[in-house]
């Protein structure tokens, strides 16, 4: 089945540094990928829609300059959390909809802890 | 008010019990997803529904578009079913996702 590989699974970084999270579609081309964030005991929140070859579409309240999204190829989208702060500590997950599949497939998620 | 409401928030069941999780939504949708999130955070898409009923193994999902309501049923529950189950809808205008807050299920042996 269609697989989205997400790395890293977890990361601890110091406040002020930047962290890059990758999502790769392993056996299909993804023109669109979605990035979500989940704070503890809260629901998933869509952060942005990543479009191959063009700018990402950000949801209201999500800072474009802080959460940089790059979708330079049909199989790779990256989310970079810039100048991370402890309040950015969260679970980040991506998803894509394979062209020959009904529904969405999700990455395994990245747990970010900023200390 | 959230666009997607789930109930119950927490559910504890004995192994073998029949389980129902409910989802109500308030927007027009093109599809509804049931997702399973394991303790480590990884998410698996269980079902995508736009009408009727789907069955996969011990899992059954139903949707009533007129009533804006969906249910996820688990028959003969097992401890490995313990997870958070999330209802998500795709709005029929703009393809925006809305997520429920999830139902935390614990199945006791």
What pLDDT was estimated at residue B90?
82
pLDDT digits (tens, 9 = 90+) for A34-55: 999 988 777 788 899 998 888 8
CB B3 within 8 A of CB B66: no
**Which pLDDT band holds residue B91 (cuts at 50, 70, 90)?**
confident
Q: List Cα–Cα distances, A107 to A2, A13, A56, B26, B63, in angstroms.
A: 11, 21, 18, 28, 26
Measured CA distances, B109 to B14, B78, B79 (Å): 6, 7, 6
Contacts of A98 (CB under 8 A, 6+ apart): A2, A25, A28, A30, A105
Cα–chain center distance at B18: 15
Does residue A104 carry a pLDDT above 80? no
How many angstroms separate the CA atoms of B18 and B58, rounded? 10
Best residue of A4, A10, A32, A44 to probe chain B, by most B CBs closer than 10 Å? A44
Q: How many A-B residue pairs are in contact by the CB < 8 A criterion?
A: 42
Which of B20, B18, B101 is CA-nearest to residue B62? Answer: B20
Chain A residues within an 8 Å CB radius of B33: 103-104
Give the Cα separation of A38 and A95 in Å (integer).
14
Q: Which of B97, B101, B102 to mutate to test the interface with A (most CBs of A within 10 A)?
A: B97
Dump pLDDT digits (tens) for A64-75: 999 999 998 999
Neighbours of B22 (CB within 10 A): 15
Assign A102 a pLDDT band (cuts: 50, 70, 90).
Answer: low
CA–CA dist B24, B87 (Å, integer): 9
Of residues B31, B106, B24, B38, the one with CA closest to residue B72: B24
* B73/A12 Cα distance (integer angstroms): 38
Q: Does B99 touch chain A (CB under 8 A)?
A: yes
| Each residue's pLDDT tens digit, A75-99 | 999 999 999 999 999 999 999 877 7
Cα A70 to its chain centre, rounded Å, is 10
% of chain B with per-residue pLDDT over 90: 69
In this complex, which of A34, A103, A108 lies closest to B45 when CB atoms are compared?
A: A103
């Amino acid at each position: 089945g269609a697989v989205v590989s997400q790395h890293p699974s977890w990361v601890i970084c110091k406040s002020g540094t930047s962290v890059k999270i990758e999502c790769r579609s392993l056996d299909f081309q993804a023109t669109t990928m979605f990035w979500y964030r989940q704070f503890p005991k809260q629901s998933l929140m869509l952060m942005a829609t990543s479009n191959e070859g063009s700018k990402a579409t950000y949801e209201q309240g999500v800072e474009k300059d802080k959460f940089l999204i790059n979708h330079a190829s049909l199989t790779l989208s990256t989310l970079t959390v810039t100048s991370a702060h402890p309040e950015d500590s969260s679970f980040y997950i991506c998803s894509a909809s394979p062209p020959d599949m009904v529904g969405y497939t999700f990455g395994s998620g990245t747990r970010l802890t900023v200390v | 008010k959230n666009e997607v409401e789930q109930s119950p928030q927490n559910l504890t069941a004995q192994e073998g019990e029949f389980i129902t999780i409910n989802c109500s939504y308030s927007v027009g949708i093109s599809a509804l997803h049931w997702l399973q999130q394991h303790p480590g955070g990884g998410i698996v898409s269980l079902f995508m529904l736009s009408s009727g009923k789907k069955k996969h193994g011990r899992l059954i999902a139903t949707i009533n578009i007129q009533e804006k309501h969906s249910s996820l049923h688990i028959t003969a529950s097992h401890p490995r079913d313990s997870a958070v189950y999330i209802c998500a809808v795709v709005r029929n205008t703009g393809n925006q996702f809305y997520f429920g807050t999830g139902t935390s299920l614990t199945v006791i042996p």
